[in-house]
Amino acid sequence: MIRRGRGVAVTIHSSGLTGGNDPSEAIIRLHVDGSVTVSIGSVDMGQGVKTIARQLTAEVLEMDPKLVKVIAGDTDPDPMCTGQFASRTTLVCGNAVKKAAEDLKYKIMQYAAAKFQTPMEQLVYSDGVIASAVEPGKRITLPELAGEACWVAQDALIGVGRHCPVFPPRDMETGKADFFQALQYCACVADVAVDDETGEVEVEKLYVALEMGKALNPLLLEGQIEGGASFGVGFGLSEDILPYYPSIEHMRTSFREYRIPTALDMPPVESVLVEKPSSFGPFGAKGCGEIVVNPVGPAIVNAVSNALGGVRFFELPLTPERVLRALEEHEKAEACQK
């Protein structure tokens, strides 16, 4: 018989390492045609750091994102980056890119102030045009300024940014300390169908709500949610490296036995983005790479337990054998109580 159930799980996760010492750097160079190149040490593994770096740069410099080229992951010329882990990239690398863009913008304004012999405070930067707020005739576009800086003044306009989370000292009286600059929150609801004769579990639908600060790119976030959900379904239902009885020769040695969910195995995933901007992230954003994985497996377990009338599980994945064994033990325990 097919039994259906619903399960819920919630989780919390940090962005970046605890206690600091987690730097990232960025370098942005203005070219003669008004375009820019962003160099970062972060690696784009599909999570979209190049897109986010392009967006942040274009936002600060008020330019078309098509004019922003991002070079990432070349450890020879690119600046320092601790790495891609701990959901740190948007928060730490993103802040470094934002600071580099702001540094370049300041140097652009500084160059324009010297050119116009005008105090920098009287200049306005808007949509790639630098103009005097008090003398309308004094204005220059970013490509014009870049060309003049290169060919006439022979000046290189380069912005540099570095971000390393700084934490307040430990409270010596209470022993408490803030070890994280930003925390994300995620909830998952799983609907499942369980065959109590075969032990097979089918996830029919997942609902995932993610609070990740400001959503810089909702499409990328939905991709992260769906990818994280597939990880959770995998370790919830099929992924296991323990050897089978009776010996280690039965261990899974290839992806034929070690089943990773594909798009064909995934249920519909309904994503909900909850925005609560962080004061620590670039334009309020936080990381989101790992947190979605965490609640999916527990939500599936709770859903199966709900479907089977309270059967408890203490091992993952929920293979058919484990489901049937747990159901049998649960029914025996209930019979003994009667």
What are the catalytic residues?
Answer: 290
Q: Which residues does residue 140 pair with via DSSP β-bridges, in sequence order?
A: 130
The structure tokens listed for 216 are: 């810089």
**Angle between helix 94-116 and 142-151 (nearest 10):** 70
The alpha carbon of residue 108 and the mean position of all alpha carbons in its chain are separated, in whole angstroms, by 31
3-state secondary structure of 335: helix
Please report where in the chains the tokens 């601790």 appear, as a residue.
82
Helix (H) or strand (E) holding 144: helix 142-151
Are the C-beta atoms of 99 and 25 separated by less than 8 Å?
A: no
Query: In degrees rounded to 5, what are phi and psi of residue 190?
Result: -120, 135
CA atoms within 13 A on the CB side of 197: 2
Distance CA 281, CA 97 (A): 11
Letter string b/e over residues 69-88, b meaning 16 or more CB atoms within 10 A of that residue's CB = ebebeeeeebbebbebebbb
Distance CA 288, CA 298 (A): 18
